[in-house]
Amino acid sequence: MLKKILIGILVFVVLIQLIRPAPNVSSAPDPNALKAHYPLPDSVEAVLRVACYDCHSNHSRYPWFDKVAPVSWLVAYHIKGGKRHLNFDEYFAYPVKRKVKRLKDIAETVENGSMPLSTYTWAHKDAVLTEAQKKLIIDWADSLGKQIADTTQAKL
């Protein structure tokens, strides 16, 4: 009886591997990408790439464990939610108010430690931000938010 249960579990685990979410990997150019329109220093981009882009861009990195169901389903769910809130590759298409708000959100969530998510950093140790990296991101987000707001005010 135990042998049949174990075989059933094994078959189930193998079969769920056939249900794969579409990967979040785009090969097309991103004309609305933040860095195509706004200043993005290399140091900031390097941190964003490691700590943010997997869930907040059209270009996710997938270690082997992110490809195994049911983990792959959870990863796809997190990416979908992350991109719905902020997608660096669609940033330029946002209305000005949303652009400024998202930059404030970046600064706040990095400062209070709610981003990157602890469930993400648990498996992606390179995404744990140092105090210097946090300051870098916060200063950049605050500065760019002010620049966008000031530019918009000047046009009015």
Does position 103 have pLDDT exceeding 90, yes or no?
Answer: yes
Query: Is 92 in contact with 34 (CB distance < 8 Å)?
Result: yes
Task: Give how far Cα 120 sits from Cα of 57, 99, 134, 149, Å.
Answer: 15, 24, 16, 32
Give per-residue pLDDT as tens, 73-96: 888 999 999 999 999 999 999 999
Domain boundary assignment for the chain: 2-155
Q: What is the CA radius of gyration of the chain?
A: 19
Across the range 106-120, mean pLDDT stands at 94
Distance CA 103, CA 117 (A): 17
DSSP states of 64-105 as a string?
GGGGSTTHHHHHHHHHHHHHHH--TTTGGGS-HHHHHHHHHH
pLDDT on residue 155: 64
The pTM for the full model equals: 0.85
pLDDT on residue 153: 66
Q: What is the dihedral of CA 104, 106, 110, 116, to 10 degrees?
A: 160
pLDDT on residue 14: 78
pLDDT on residue 25: 83
Give per-residue pLDDT as tens, 47-63: 999 999 999 999 998 88
Does position 154 have pLDDT exceeding 70, yes or no?
Answer: no
Measured at the CA of 127, the angle between CA 126 and CA 128, to 5 degrees, comes to 95
If one compares 29 and 99, the residue with the highest pLDDT of the two is 99
